[in-house]
């Protein structure tokens, strides 16, 4: 049996900058707990995810050896990323729609690298059946677990110590005791400051994590066609790079997976001032024949600048991205049925305030 078969990998998917420290500390905790169990372990960020950008999907990995010395483990782990992983931890449920941090990879399924009978653990206030409306099918059975908590975000390079990492550790110990077990996890956490409340959070998550087996073929269809890179024989000489034609967007680099909120537009109150079109740094707005401005959601990164510069109160409002199942444009919906769109707009904006699921959004 080779080193590859003797290493268990955990993939941690997070939002760049906003969750960097959280992901790093979760990885460290898994490493140190595995070492408490007498196993060599290490963590590493995916090559190319640094420097990160606000909200861009990024990944940390943990490798845990079984009968492998640490030197061999380091040798195998010093690579871009593992081919397959035993467990995936997702720190924001909107990432379930797909991740793209490198332009040439395309938008990848969140569970692309999951092994047969693997485990995915998500921090979310939504139920498992709701999350499965965003998760691609696999051709084998696997386990989906949910830690019932809102996604934890913090400022630039900062860390929000809200016990999310302890909850994730506890959930992982419940679902994958072969990776870290509860006894050794508590031993590790007991050495930390404010140990009692941290141990309580671990135990609470261990006992309350919701999970079930996801059957083969259960989930949504997700066609992943990675962009084909030119071979060196096909590349042009010098530094010539074919440009994207004027007025077009790069079809191979859709940054829509970056956002955890999306702008919604009340076209009935729009004054056609053009400021959203002018200030959008990603050129996501398209002028319509009647002078309004539609949004290409698959390119929108959810920065919120359009909502900030709009001079009309509540004309553009940011809402929770996880409520939606597609990137259908708002102008199309409005033109199709203005009264129905107005009611839909009211519901999604109210849901933002209440953090609840509204059936039918984005369909």
Tokens found for residue 322: 């996880």
User: Is the pLDDT confidence value at 128 over 70?
Assistant: yes
Closest CA to 173 of 196, 203, 211, 141: 203
| Exposed/middle/buried for residue 235 (C-beta within 10 Å: 0-12, 13-18, 19+) | exposed
| Residues in contact with 340: Cβ distance below 8 Å, sequence separation at least 6, in sequence order | 333
Multiple choice CATH, 256-358, 3.40.190.10, 3.30.70.20, 3.30.870.10, 3.40.640.10? 3.30.70.20
Rounded-to-integer distance, Cα 247 and Cα 270, Å: 24
Residue range 197-213, pLDDT digits in tens: 999 999 999 999 999 99
Cα end-to-end span (Å), the chain:
48
Q: Which of 1-15, 34-48, 194-208 shows the highest mean pLDDT?
A: 194-208
**pLDDT tier at 2, thresholds 50, 70, 90:** very low
Residue range 42-65, pLDDT digits in tens: 998 886 665 567 778 889 999 999
Predicted pLDDT of residue 29: 98
Rounded-to-integer distance, Cα 359 and Cα 363, Å: 9
Predicted pLDDT of residue 104: 63
Delimit the domains of the chain by residue range.
Answer: 7-214, 256-358
Rounded-to-integer distance, Cα 282 and Cα 196, Å: 46
| Exposed/middle/buried for residue 208 (C-beta within 10 Å: 0-12, 13-18, 19+) | middle
Residue range 137-188, pLDDT digits in tens: 999 999 999 999 988 988 777 889 999 999 999 999 999 999 999 999 999 9
Closest CA to 87 of 211, 201, 265, 197: 211
Ramachandran angles phi, psi of 134, nearest 5°:
-115, -10
pTM of the model: 0.85
Predicted pLDDT of residue 231: 82
Rounded-to-integer distance, Cα 345 and Cα 259, Å: 19
CB 120 within 8 A of CB 109: no
Rounded-to-integer distance, Cα 313 and Cα 157, Å: 32
| Exposed/middle/buried for residue 157 (C-beta within 10 Å: 0-12, 13-18, 19+) | exposed
Closest CA to 10 of 128, 114, 124, 100: 114
Rounded-to-integer distance, Cα 74 and Cα 31, Å: 13
**pLDDT tier at 362, thresholds 50, 70, 90:** very low
**pLDDT tier at 363, thresholds 50, 70, 90:** very low
Rounded-to-integer distance, Cα 173 and Cα 11, Å: 15
Residue range 233-285, pLDDT digits in tens: 887 777 676 778 887 888 777 778 878 899 999 999 999 999 999 999 989 99
**Pairing relation of β-strands 114-124 and 85-90?**
parallel
Percent of the chain with pLDDT over 70: 91
7-214 folds as Pyruvate-ferredoxin Oxidoreductase; domain 3 (3.40.920)
């Amino acid at each position: 049996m080779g080193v590859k078969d003797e290493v268990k990998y955990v993939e941690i998917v997070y939002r760049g900058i906003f969750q960097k420290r959280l992901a790093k500390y979760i990885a460290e905790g898994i490493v140190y707990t595995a070492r408490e169990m007498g196993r060599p372990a290490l963590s590493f960020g995916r090559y190319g995810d640094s420097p990160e950008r606000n909200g861009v999907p990024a990944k940390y990995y943990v490798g845990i050896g079984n009968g492998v010395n640490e030197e061999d483990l380091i040798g195998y782990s010093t690579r871009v990323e593992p081919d397959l992983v035993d467990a995936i931890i997702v720190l924001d449920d909107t990432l379930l729609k797909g991740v793209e941090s490198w332009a040439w990879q395309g938008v990848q399924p969140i569970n692309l690298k999951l092994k047969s009978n693997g485990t995915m653990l998500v921090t979310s206030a939504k139920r498992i059946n709701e999350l499965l409306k965003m998760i691609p099918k696999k051709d084998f059975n696997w386990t989906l677990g949910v830690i019932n908590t809102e996604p934890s975000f913090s400022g630039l390079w900062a860390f929000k110590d809200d016990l999310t990492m302890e909850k994730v550790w506890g959930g992982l110990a419940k679902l994958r005791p072969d990776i870290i077990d509860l006894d050794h996890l508590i031993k590790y956490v007991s050495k930390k400051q404010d140990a009692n409340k941290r141990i309580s959070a671990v135990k609470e998550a261990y006992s309350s994590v919701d999970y079930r087996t996801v059957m083969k073929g259960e989930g949504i269809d997700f066609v992943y066609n990675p962009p084909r890179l030119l071979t060196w024989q096909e590349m042009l000489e010098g530094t010539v790079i074919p440009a994207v034609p004027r007025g077009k967007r790069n079809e191979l680099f859709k940054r829509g997976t970056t956002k955890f909120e999306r702008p919604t537009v009340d076209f009935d109150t729009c004054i056609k001032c053009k400021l959203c079109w002018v200030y959008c740094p990603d050129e996501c707005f398209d002028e319509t024949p009647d002078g309004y401005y539609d949004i290409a959601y698959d390119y929108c990164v959810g920065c919120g600048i359009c909502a900030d510069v709009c001079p009309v109160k509540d004309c553009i409002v940011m809402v929770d991205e996880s409520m939606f199942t597609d990137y259908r444009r708002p102008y199309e919906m409005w033109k199709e049925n203005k009264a129905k769109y107005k009611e839909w707009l009211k519901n999604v904006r109210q849901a933002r305030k209440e953090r609840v699921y509204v059936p039918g959004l984005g369909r």
